[in-house]
Amino acid sequence: MKYRNECLIFISCLIFYGMFTWSFPITDPVESNYALTAKEMLLSHDFLSMRIYGEYWYDKPIFTYWMLISSYKIFGLNEFAARFPMIAASSLSVAFMYWFVWYNEKSKTMAFLSAFILATSLQFWVLSRVIVTDAFLFFFHNSALGLFYLAWKKERAIYGIIAYIALGLAVLTKGPIGFLLPMLTLFAYIFITKSWGMFKYLYAWQGILAFVFVGMPWYVYMFIHHGWDFIDSFIGLHNIARATISEHPEMNVFYYYLLVLPVALLPWTGIFIRTIYEIIKKRNLTDRNWFYLIWLVLPVAFYTCMATKYLTYSFPVLFPAAILSAYTLNEFLKRDDKKIWLWVMIPMLFLLLGIGVGNAKAIKTNEEFIYFGCAIFALWGGASILFAREQRKILCNIAVSFILGYLLLAGIILPNYAQMRTARHLAAFIPPNAIVENIGDYQTSALFYWNGEIKSVILPDEHVDTGIWSRKYLYPREKLEDFIERTKEEKEVYLIVHEYSLSKFSQMQVAKDYYPLVSSEKGTLYKKRLY
């Protein structure tokens, strides 16, 4: 079988990333927006226009929602179905990493090490299970860049055409940035290394036509059917405004991604730092290294210049970072020096420390088991350095240590942490056709688990934000006095009160008419008293 290794890697990653997703509820405030939008599109049989709370919204393009809807149709409306598309996209990225490095380097060892580093990097592992668009953007962004490079180096025009298809899908996933950022990267590489021959593949009419055919029809449809509302919201608010106006001003600092990247690469941070140091020290700027470094640095620099910053914006650079780190890891395997493995072990200990201690507040039970488990994995990794006779056995033992640590994180810590950010437990107690209102931070996840409408109560002393970012939030609102008047004759009335608003709610006059029905880490569900 020609692509046997790639298929084995893909299936292994599906299992690794899919473990325990059935116990991981849909969380607020991000995941629930994507999961609910796809649910509403499916139930309304409208597969082209995104909608949430019964309203059209244009936060992201269509591709991720198509994948979610397809998954719902296959697996049903549940947590696993909502997470499976991201699991599959992440698994494809790891398999593509193996294929790309093997084809470019002609080294199965380098291909495997690159894929393994990527697959087990902390941020990649986390985002493989989270319902966001970034897993798809990661795959399309990096496959486009990798295929353009191979088209140039291997003189295979077909790779350039496929790369343009990937760019079209990237635009359908994230918008204009899906085309702009890869092109900026390629142009920077061409001008820095004077690789003018690459323009032949960038200007290929077949590729440009494929890009237009794949990426543009949906945008034309949206403009025809929604007009300037779509342009103003999608381009104006969600692209231009985010680039020029900080959504979170406290995070708008120049060193933001310099802090994010080392954490994202755990437990391979030490090897990555050593790799960059060696390249600079030895001035080992080969054509290949230039491409990987530009692939790595340009997106970080680009997003640093943007006003709005998110943890996931720099996510795609883990691909070239993993390849660069694999060169150093491959050198470690050839050297008879156990001390060099401290570059892996020390970051790994920090990762296990974070798993065992940093998430302690999210755990209500089995804390001793978690600490004990992390200690065992850390000791196992440390003992492998002292007693293993072969470098490959050291790597295998270290790998087993943090894979088990990840499974501990996936099986116990993340599900418990997710319970603090979901209304699943509360929604289970709401009967059909009930009247439900929300007080405090809006809990969109309740609507994924319960079919109906939930309005947010505007309290008398509550300040209603009317700034530019208020346009992001489309959930229905209602003044407290209007809610009281509307429900005075109703019997099945429920209030979802966020945990941060419980104290304030208990002091309100309306609280006397309700009693707590059930509580969770996220808040309390109240039911109207029947006098």
Strand partners, 515: 527
Interval 205-220: pLDDT, tens: 899 999 999 999 999 9
Interval 32-77: pLDDT, tens: 999 999 999 999 999 999 999 989 989 899 999 999 999 999 999 9
Interval 408-456: pLDDT, tens: 777 777 777 788 889 999 999 999 989 999 998 899 999 999 999 999 9
Rounded to a whole number of angstroms, the distance between the first and last alpha carbons of the chain is: 73
Rounded to an integer, the average pLDDT of 66-94 is: 96
Residue 429 is assigned to a structural domain of this protein: yes
Residue 461 is assigned to a structural domain of this protein: yes
DSSP 132: S
Residue with tokens 């230039």: 290
Give the 3-state DSSP-derived string for 322-363, with helices as H, strands as E and coil as C.
HHHHHHHHHHHHHCCCHHHHHHHHHHHHHHHHHHHHHCHHHC
Q: Quote the pLDDT of residue 187.
A: 95
Tokens of 253: 């600092």
Helix, strand, or coil (residue 307):
coil
Strand partners, 523: 498
Residue 506 is assigned to a structural domain of this protein: yes
Residue 370 is assigned to a structural domain of this protein: no
Spell out the residues 6+ positions from residue 361 whose beta carbon is closer than 8 angstroms to its own.
Answer: none
Q: Is the pLDDT of residue 103 over 80?
A: yes
Q: Domain range for residue 501?
A: 424-528
pTM above 0.85, yes or no: yes
Strand partners, 496: 438, 525
- What is the rounded distance in angstroms from the CA atom of residue 233 to the CA atom of residue 66? 20
Residue 216 CA to its chain's centroid (Å): 25
Tell me the C-alpha to C-alpha distance, in Å, between residue 307 and each of 255, 303, 471: 13, 8, 18
Relative to beta strand 514-519, strand 523-528 is antiparallel
Is residue 315 within 8 Å of 123, Cβ to Cβ? yes
Residue 100 is assigned to a structural domain of this protein: no
Residue 292 is assigned to a structural domain of this protein: no
Domain count within the chain: 1
DSSP 315: G
Residue 254 CA to its chain's centroid (Å): 22
Residue 479 is assigned to a structural domain of this protein: yes
Residue 493 is assigned to a structural domain of this protein: yes
Is residue 74 within 8 Å of 38, Cβ to Cβ? no
Angle at 258 between CA 257 and CA 261, to 5 degrees: 70
Tokens of 451: 């079919």
Interval 485-494: pLDDT, tens: 898 888 899 9
Tokens of 422: 């979901």
